[in-house]
Chains A and B, each alone.
Chain A
């Protein structure tokens, strides 16, 4: 059974750095064409893709947030970590990790999501 779970602080002060961890089971990020993503959802708003890390270590970032984001993986621990610097109240929202498996059709749809972790940025 494939599961993902996000963890991190519930409250962060403005200008601080946020570190979120996605711990997963049921698959290996070393598998060819396996990819893990971070996506967020401000309260009452649309989902926003943040970053992706691939089985081969390639990393991709939302261009509007690229200077503030770093994604990394620890394959032995089955974890992916996202750091976001210089937090602002507009960064408040639920942060999800989501998997893209190796599809036969080369799809890039997110097939499994974690339950999300709510982060509030406030002084």
Chain B
């Protein structure tokens, strides 16, 4: 199985600032990576697929980059509704997920 790791586990950010989240795969996954946002008691919401393509309805402040084994999700000018947990997911092989990064209010 491809192991996904994420860093940091928790990120404290002030509203209006930028958040940078990292995701690493244990082997090459090309650009077959998605990012999701999850809030307590809800199912995940797709943000990014193909490493950098925003899903329908996702604001432009969310952007993804990377290829191979190292990926980044950037959230510019954090809004109150962006404080949540973010997961990465590789689908180059059978699906596996990272453990998540919790973005909390500083």
Contacts and interface: CB of A to CB of B under 8 A. Distances in A.
Interface of A: 37, 39, 45-49, 60, 62-63, 96, 98, 103, 105, 107-116
B94 A63 contact: yes
A111 B49 CA distance: 9
B96 A113 contact: no
A107 B91 contact: yes
A110 B34 CA distance: 8
Interface in B24-77: 32, 34, 36, 41-46, 49-50, 53, 55-56
A96 B87 CA distance: 15
Given A45-B99, A112-B46, 7 more contacts: A46-B99, A47-B89, A47-B97, A48-B97, A49-B94, A107-B53, A111-B56
A110 B45 CA distance: 9
A46 B98 contact: yes
A105 B94 contact: no
Contacts of B44: 47, 96, 98, 110, 113
A111 B55 contact: yes
Contacts of A105: 49-50, 53
Nearest to A47: B97
Interface of B: 32, 34, 36, 41-46, 49-50, 53, 55-56, 87, 89, 91, 94-100
Given A46-B97, A96-B43, A115-B42, A108 B50 contact: no
Nearest to A49: B95
Given A47-B87, A98-B43, A108 B32 contact: yes
A5 to B, nearest CB: 10
Given A46-B100, A107-B49, A114 B43 contact: yes
A92 B44 CA distance: 19
B43 A116 contact: yes
Given A46-B100, A47-B87, A108 B95 contact: yes
A110 B89 contact: yes
